Amino acid sequence: MANGTRISDLDFVYISFKEPNKEENWADLKNKVPWAKRVDGVVGFDNAHKAAADIAETDFFISVDGDNIIDEKFLLETLAWDKTDRKAVHRWRAKNSINGLVYGNGGIVGWDKQTCKSMKTHENAETEENQIDFCWGVPHENLHNCYSTTVINATPQQAFVAGYREGVKMSTEKGKPITAKNYSKQIWKNNLNILSTWCTIGADIENGKYAMLGSRMGCFYTVLEPNNELYKVRDLDSMEVYYNQIAQSDIDDELVMYGNSLRQQLDIPIAEFTEEDSRFYRFVMPIHRNKGVQDREYK
């Protein structure tokens, strides 16, 4: 294909930190992508991705998170650079191991090296919108296809932190907290759907309740009781402290308490699903169908 690049000709860089399943997932990736490289233990999201760009030998490279398991079908694809902006971050969808959501969170990412090296996000951010995630201040191609599973329930802490971070992110508008007064008018409907699912689904999955609690707490402390510590979600050590504060609590009591607050004060459609309810929800979820490798999420 003219002006095309085979995925199998690109460098893959595995970025891991403290994920409890990182060695298992690294072994899986190396079995599928023997040429994969690794960045491990670099403090800071921005720093870790720049370290990945430094060791990548191709001008465009693929990053795989430490809690991600890729689908080998991805390796058969070819990128045509007349379809998407090569300089933009290419984010493919992943399937969530707890709630079954299929969207960009935790998915495989394609990076132009220079874009990655020049961005300033998370711990290196110079603007508010870049402090929580890459997605608002760095040009993105959000793509429809799903090529991996993000496995975030190896331990209660991993599930809680994943949920908390997403609860915060979904409760902001380009990095700025949504106020309780304007919540229903300002939150994007798709973000509300995602947040409600994080908060509701997972009782039937090991450690799933911790992800549900984390997302409820992330929303609560972003919208209802802002504590000026919003950006600690980029600091995994701080997230560990948050988890330790609730680790000895009764998970079911905590879920009900935070659920009631969000329902009563923000009118968020959160339900207290049983294990059977969650299994049924996942059973009737529409099956995600892949399209073209560079088809966008939204036209």
Could you give the CA distance from residue 76 to residue 37 in angstroms, rounded to a whole number? 19
pLDDT at 174: 75
pLDDT at 93: 98
Q: Phi, psi (5° rounding) for residue 149?
A: -120, 130
The angle at the Cα of 257, spanning 277 to 162, to the nearest 5 degrees, equals 70
Cβ within 8 Å of residue 147, ≥6 positions away:
70, 71, 73, 74, 92, 93, 94, 107, 108
Query: Does the pLDDT value for residue 71 go beyond 80?
Result: yes
Cβ within 8 Å of residue 170, ≥6 positions away:
187, 191, 192, 194, 195, 198, 215, 218, 219
Query: Does the pLDDT value for residue 1 go beyond 50?
Result: no
Query: Does the pLDDT value for residue 125 go beyond 80?
Result: no
Mean pLDDT of the chain: 91
* pLDDT tens figures, 75-98: 999 999 999 999 999 999 999 999
Query: Domains along the chain?
Result: 9-150 (3.90.550.10), 156-284 (no CATH)
Copy the structure tokens of residue 29.
């990736």
Please report, rounded to a whole number, the percentage of residues in the chain having pLDDT higher than 90. 76
Say which DSSP state 130 is in. Answer: G
Q: Phi, psi (5° rounding) for residue 182?
A: -105, 15
Copy the structure tokens of residue 67.
């809690």
